[in-house]
Amino acid sequence: MLEDLKRDLQNIYSGTQSTLFLEGMGGAERAEALMERTYVILRRYLNRMPAPAMLEVKEEWPFLFSQRGLFSHFGLLTDVNILQKLQEALGQRGQTIL
């Protein structure tokens, strides 16, 4: 079941005319939902010994290498909305930087 969902996720990102390209934001939303549902097997995969090579991870879990995928996974892992935190930090400290 989870492996089937993982294959669906890989199919969204496969090929030059990927489903993501054809579906646009709808494909990204579908991919994000699939990432949430396959979180357990992704964590098991990432935490294995020896650790998988980055190229292998990118082939197996391509959505993880998109901004949306990375933010989504970070949120599931830490329960922190990183985009919201970044925006808050820029709002609070942005003038100091400029």
Sign of the dihedral defined by the CA atoms of residues 37, 65, 54, 17, in that order = positive
Which residues in the chain come in under a pLDDT of 50?
A: 16-17, 20
Q: Report the 10 Å Cβ neighbour count for 20.
A: 21
**pLDDT for the residue numbered 67:** 87
What are the boundaries of each domain within the chain?
2-97
| Residue 42: both structure tokens together | 């992704």
Evaluate whether 69 touches 63 at the Cβ level (below 8 Å): yes
Distance of CA 13 to the CA centre of its chain: 12
